[in-house]
Copies of this chain bind each other. A is one copy, B any other.
Amino acid sequence: MAKELKNFTKRSDNYSQWYNELVVKADLAEQSAVRGCMVIKPYGYAIWEKMQRTLDDMFKATGHQNAYFPLLIPKSFLCREAEHVEGFAKECAVVTHYRLKNDPEGNGVVVDPEARLEEELIIRPTSETIIWNTYKNWIHSYRDLPILINQWANVMRWEMRTRMFLRTAEFLWQEGHTAHATREEAEAEARKMLEVYADFAENYMAVPVIKGVKSPNERFAGAVDTFTIEAMMQDGKALQSGTSHFLGQNFAKAFDVTYINKENKPEYVWATSWGVSTRLMGALIMTHSDDNGLVLPPHLAPIQVVIVPIYKDAEGLAKISERVAGIVANLRAKGVSVKYDDADNKRPGFKFADYEVKGVPVRLALGARDLENGTVEVMRRDTLEKETLPLEGIEQTVVEMLEDIQKNLLVKARKYRDEMTTTADTYEEFKEKLEKGGFILAHWDGTPETEEKIKEETKATIRCIPFEGDTTPGVCMVTGKPSARRVIFARSY
């Protein structure tokens, strides 16, 4: 293994440190000079671009269009929706001035005190307020509905403790904001977009998720209902991977957005919003990767196959390159993203380790003897299994292997998740099991007070009330009061 990869922390030694090192060593991102903000490096950004492209296609296939709203939000907008401001206004970047000037004392530049804004502007932590202020002018009649809009944007929340991808002050995301004539239509939209997220998580990220609704304590500030997909990381902690909110008429009322219905009467508009962010990168990394580095599902890998030549001299390389050219062309024709790494300044062993750390799903290595024998060494990243296979027809073998890896990763992650999902009937049992991590299905009396008490005493929260699964009633493990059904508890990111 190459030099810089030595001393790679193992997951079992320190999961958190393993993650931080992996993000840097796989060249995904790094801390920037600005507190809590990261630089997303080209390799990390290429994965995010694949996520974006896939999700964008899915949004368009479900009838949505993209648009763009301002980065800055007038401070007063945040106060319009009472619960929203409680949830969001507190920790955010505030623009107070619009000009710098040369320091009269000669030390660079200073803020020009005369260029103070009349009203402060907030860097958007989310865009419901500015968007609903805009929709007010777009919506007059039922004929103007529905509005189905998505925005790809950067947002900012001044988090005190940050971790790359998982929790950063600035992050990239998409936020859908839709407007509807009826409650039913808006609720259906919020649920539909949760299905889109679940589809993306399972079939592209190979991350199994549990769909459900949030308890009131965990609900988005301003929502009537928050739907969520919850994933489990390899340390047994939950990661909320996407949320879709049914906002009722809360924002329509806050921004006075009404429409004339078919009966010619004014009515408040119904709303949803839904988003996923670069946090998905964190979920992707933590679900599949191992002590050797990143493991990427083929559907999101920027490089799906790497081919490394093993040669002694220029003549040997030329012969291999000639044979590889056809393989590369055939793989590309099949839609496979392939890299032929014939760089002369790195040894094969270094290349092997590098692509392993970067999670390239399939590696082919080809030497002089292989050419003679008509074989190639194939390594798959998910299992690290190596085998020597016939060169003839290798393209089809690789295509099938990529699909097999994609499926295998999901199966493996689901198996782990299921093994780490248990039930608890008493609070004692709950606390005991919680120490081992994982999802715990337990009865809860449905009150915010009990939820809060559990959180304070155990650091576990209700991840969701799942849409599916056991719906047998019972009694709350803490208060003994009636419980409608078991809900999912876990410690989380």
* A residues at B contact (CB < 8 Å): 30, 32-34, 37-42, 45-46, 48-49, 65-79, 85, 89-101, 108-109, 111, 120-123, 130, 133-134, 137, 143, 149, 153-154, 156, 158, 170, 172, 345
A108 to B65, Cβ gap below 8 A?
no
A101 to B91, CA, bound (A): 9
Q: Give complex CA distance A93, B96 in Å.
A: 8
Given contacts A45-B65, A70-B34, contact A111 B100 (CB under 8 A): no
A123 to B111, CA, bound (A): 13
CB pair B90 A100 closer than 8 Å: yes
CB atoms of A68 and B121 under 8 A apart: no
Question: For residue A91, which residues in chain B have a CB less than 8 angstroms away from its CB?
Answer: 98-99
Contacting A120 at CB < 8 Å: which of B74, B111, B137, B154?
B111
Partner of A93, one of B38, B48, B121, B137: B121
Q: How far is the CA of A89 from the CA of B101 in the complex (A)?
A: 8
CA distance A108 to B37 in the complex (A): 29
- Complex Cα gap A133–B34 (Å): 11
Assembled-state Cα–Cα distance A123/B120 (Å): 14
Cβ of A39 and Cβ of B66 under 8 Å apart? no
Work out how many copies of this chain go into the complex.
2
Beta-carbon contact of B92 and A149 below 8 Å: no
User: Known: A90-B99, A96-B97. Contact between A45 and B67, CB under 8 A?
Assistant: yes
Residues on the B chain within 8 Å of A99, using CB: 90-92, 94, 158
Provide 20 A-B residue pairs closer than 8 Å at the C-beta atoms, listed in order of the A residue. Answer: A32-B69, A34-B73, A39-B69, A40-B67, A41-B67, A42-B65, A42-B66, A42-B149, A45-B65, A45-B66, A46-B65, A68-B172, A72-B170, A89-B100, A90-B99, A92-B98, A93-B95, A94-B96, A95-B95, A123-B123
Q: Is the CB of B111 within 8 A of A96?
A: yes
Which 4 interchain pairs have the tightest Cβ spacing? A79-B108, A42-B65, A37-B70, A40-B68
User: What are the residues of chain B within 8 A of A38 when measuring CB–CB?
Assistant: 70
Instruction: Contact check, B32 vs A130: say whether CB atoms are below 8 A apart.
Output: yes
Inter-chain CA distance A354–B72, complex, in Å, is 32
| Chain B residues with CB below 8 A from A40, complex form | 67-68
A111 to B101 CA separation, bound complex (whole angstroms): 23
Cβ–Cβ < 8 Å partners of A34 in chain B: 70, 72-74, 121, 130
Complex formed: what's the CA distance from A38 to B108 in Å? 32
B111 touches A70 (CB 8 A): no
| Contact of A94 with B90 at beta-carbon distance under 8 Å, contacts A32-B69, A33-B130 already known | no
- Residues of B near A65 (CB, < 8 A) are 42, 45-46
